[in-house]
């Protein structure tokens, strides 16, 4: 038996993040929030992006300390302004983490055309595994409400997943900071497949 927490034993990126990684501007800088072992930031490093990894415990990222495109920031995201406040990125990725006061900072961190990829547990998950406390679980439609009138939603899902590294109830969104209209008053469209 290992003492490594479950979230650090999972090394493959979420299929949701893989599916929409191609929407991120080639070479654009990516912010991996509450990065844990960095499985999603590593996906973007492998695609040639610079990645800022932020977590309160960066021990699982030690192997990236010498990577020329990795910037590792140790910070408690639940105390004060986040270390990325005032910066913008081609993408912001968040997985299995929820601290609602960060929502405005995450949206502000997206450059024009920037992509938000967010996936975490939702209410109903308490029947399957941790987290179980309602404060740590998204309410139905909460990610949609968080981006409303700020970002264009490319894809959104909410429901039970069984073939996930951690089965349970999740909510996930892919949204782009590009609500500026085309000639017909609609925002640009994006591919739904990689």
Q: Could you report the per-residue pLDDT of 103-136, keeping only the tens digit for each?
A: 999 999 999 999 999 998 776 656 555 555 567 6
- 1: pLDDT strictly greater than 50: no
Q: What is the pLDDT of residue 95?
A: 92
- Interval 19-65: pLDDT, tens: 999 999 999 999 999 999 999 999 999 999 999 999 999 999 999 99
Q: What is the pLDDT of residue 187?
A: 86
Q: What is the pLDDT of residue 7?
A: 47
- 11: pLDDT strictly greater than 90: no
Q: What is the pLDDT of residue 3?
A: 61
Q: What is the pLDDT of residue 125?
A: 55
Decide: helix, strand or coil at residue 174. Answer: strand
- 159: pLDDT strictly greater than 70: yes
pTM of the model: 0.88
Q: What is the pLDDT of residue 137?
A: 74
User: Dihedral of CA 179/70/27/93: which sign?
Assistant: negative
- Interval 66-88: pLDDT, tens: 999 999 999 999 998 899 999 99
Q: What is the pLDDT of residue 12?
A: 80
Domains, the chain: 6-176 (3.40.50.150)
Q: In what order do the strands lie in the sheet with 152-161?
A: 70-74, 51-55, 30-33, 89-95, 110-121, 168-176, 152-161
- 149: pLDDT strictly greater than 80: yes
Closest residue by Cα to residue 115 from 15, 13, 8, 31: 31
Question: Which tokens hold the place of 48?
Answer: 């040639």
């Amino acid at each position: 038996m290992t003492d490594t927490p479950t979230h650090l034993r999972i090394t493959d990126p979420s299929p949701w993040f893989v599916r929409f990684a191609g929407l991120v501007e080639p070479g654009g800088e990516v912010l991996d929030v509450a990065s844990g072992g960095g499985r999603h930031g590593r996906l973007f490093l492998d695609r040639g992006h610079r990645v800022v990894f932020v977590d309160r415990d960066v021990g699982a990222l030690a192997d990236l300390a010498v990577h020329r495109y990795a910037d590792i920031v140790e910070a408690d995201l639940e105390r004060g302004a986040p270390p990325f406040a005032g910066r913008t990125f081609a993408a912001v990725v968040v997985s299995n983490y929820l601290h609602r006061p960060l929502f405005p900072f995450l949206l502000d961190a997206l450059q024009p055309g920037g992509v938000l990829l967010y996936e975490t547990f939702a209410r109903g998950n308490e029947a399957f595994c941790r987290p179980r406390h309602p404060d740590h679980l998204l309410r139905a439609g909460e990610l949609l409400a968080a981006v409303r009138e700020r970002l264009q939603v490319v894809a959104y899902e909410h429901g039970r997943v069984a073939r996930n590294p951690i089965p349970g109830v999740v909510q996930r969104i892919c949204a782009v900071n590009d609500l500026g209209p085309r000639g017909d008053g609609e925002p640009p469209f994006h591919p739904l497949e990689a």
